[in-house]
Every structure is written in C-alpha cells, then in structure tokens.
Amino acid sequence: MNTAGYLSRLGLSHLLHAPTSADNLRALHVAHIEKVSYEALEIWLGRTTTVDPVESAERIIRGRGGYCYHLNGAFSELLRALGYDVTRHVGGVQNRGAEPGITANHLVLTVRGLPSEENPGGEWLVDVGLGDALHAPLPLVAGAYRQGPFEFALRPSELAPGGWRFEHDPAGSFQGMDFDPAPTDMSAFVEMHRQLTTSPTSGFVRTAAILRRDAYGADVLRGLVLSRLGGSAHSVTLDGAPDYFAALADIFLLPLDDVSAEEKEKLWRKVNDAHEAWLAGDPS
C-alpha cells in the first residue's frame, strides 16, 4: 500500500515514521473522518468495487471515499503499516425501528496497546465508517461519551458475549451497532457487500447518500436534500446539477476528478430522477 500517499491525502505526512500513540491514533482518525467522506457513488456510477483494503486505499488516495468496508478496511491497512495493533471485527448497524443484529453489514476496528490518561487499558474503538457518528476513537470502556453535539454510549453487547454495543445519538442516522469480539478478515464481508451494492432493497442502491463528520456536527446529502446535523440543524434542497456538484466538491471534498463529464451527466440524471420519484411517493 502507498502509505506515504495515504498520509499525504490526510495531511499527516509527518506521521510516516512517528511512534504509535493514543494521540497519533486520534490525529489519524480525526483527519480521516474530516477529509474522506462516507459515500457510495460508485454504485450510482455503475462501477464495481470490492472489499479489498488496498483497492479501497488507492481510491481514497485518488480523492474519493467509500462506505464502511472501504473506509475501515483501508484505514486498518494504514494503521498496520504504521505499526498499530489493529483488529477487524464483524459488526451490525441497527437502523431506527429495526431489530439489532450482527449481520456483517458493518466492519469494525479495535486498536490495542495504547494506554492514555483517558484510557489506561489502552484498547480503543476505531471507526471511520459510521458516517455521522464517531469523530475520534472511543475508549473501549462502558460509559457515555460526548463528541461535539452528539452523545454516544458503549456497553457490553447482548448479542455477542464479550462483544460491544455502540449507541448513537438520537439525532444520528442510525440507532446503534453491535460487534463480535472475535477477529475476522475481509472475506466475512464479501457476500453482504454484494447485496448492499446490487440489491434493489439496499439503501445504497435506493438513495445516493454522502456524509461527512466534523468536530461540530455532520453534513448529510441524501439525493438532493442537504442537511446539517448538530448545532443549528437545517436542510435545503439543491436546485440543479451545478449546485449538486458544487456541494460534493465544497462540502464533502469530492471534486470527482476521476469522473468524466459524461459520467457526471448520467449521475446527475439518476440522482435527479430518484429525487423526483421520492417526491412523487411522499405522502406529504
């Protein structure tokens, strides 16, 4: 993997030969969250992706993002290259109103061996693939945690002995996430990745969603509806392709330099058509 290129993308080239530490892990996590958006536009562009972490890292280095398998997969490879003791786990994100389950619809990371004043045990929940949730790593210790306007909770999972349950803030896009304590490899996510990128019932297929977290909240673009979560929450509907692509570039740091003009036109038509269909089916 192009470790130097990845760190350059994050604006952290000085960490290439830095020692592993809780402070440096936090810096890597925060930079990744703020500079690499959660997005699945490859689906809407008709491009096939895999869960291979090196492939995901290369796409991130080129200025794109991804969803959890891509973001956490690539980030785990970066952390390993830098000497961190990182473990991948099978997780399950619970949408609001759904039943909790460890369904492999989410890849989770933990990092060990980094004690700090805040976390003497030195084990951390690391997750750059939860969209509008974590901004920085959380100590893997049961309790309540505030990051910016959002309050989270960690507790032992009721689904997996030895596992953990993450509870999102009520203002967030999902209810919670459970994960199994056992280590796993990327093969555990291949089938679910296929479903999430191809099934007509997949949220990624139904809605072109992009999210980016910062210290003060999160920006969310679902179709053509741009929302701000946290603080003075608000939303606006984007009017036209210029506004849509300007939002991608300026707010989500996605200039789409790897997308041709023809592909952008097709993407806009698909997103706009989906938005119009959503409006037509909206009972309000």
- In tens, the pLDDT along 85-133 reads 999 999 999 999 899 999 999 999 999 999 999 999 999 999 999 999 9
Pick the CATH number of 3-192 from 1.10.10.10, 3.30.2140.20, 1.10.600.10, 3.90.79.10: 3.30.2140.20
The answer to whether the CB of 77 falls within 8 A of the CB of 57 is yes
Q: Six-digit token pair at 159?
A: 């689904």
Q: Where in the chain is the domain with CATH 3.30.1120.150?
A: 207-280
What pTM, to 2 d.p., does this model score?
0.96
Confidence of residue 140 (pLDDT cuts 50, 70, 90): very high
Q: Is the pLDDT of residue 145 over 70?
A: yes
Note the pLDDT of residue 282: 58
Q: Six-digit token pair at 83?
A: 């000497």
Q: Which long-range contacts (CB under 8 A, 24 or more apart) does 177-180 make?
A: 177/91, 177/92, 177/93, 177/94, 177/106, 177/108, 177/130, 178/91, 178/92, 178/94, 178/100, 178/101, 178/102, 179/89, 179/90, 179/91, 179/92, 179/102, 179/106, 179/108, 180/89, 180/90, 180/91, 180/102
For the stretch 198-245, pLDDT in tens is 999 999 999 999 999 999 999 999 999 999 998 888 999 999 999 999
Beta-bridged to residue 132, according to DSSP, are none
- Could you tell me which residues come within 8 angstroms of residue 159 by beta carbon, excluding any fewer than 6 positions away? 92, 100, 101, 102, 165, 178
Q: Where in the chain is the domain with CATH 3.30.2140.20?
A: 3-192
CATH number for the region 207-280 comes to 3.30.1120.150
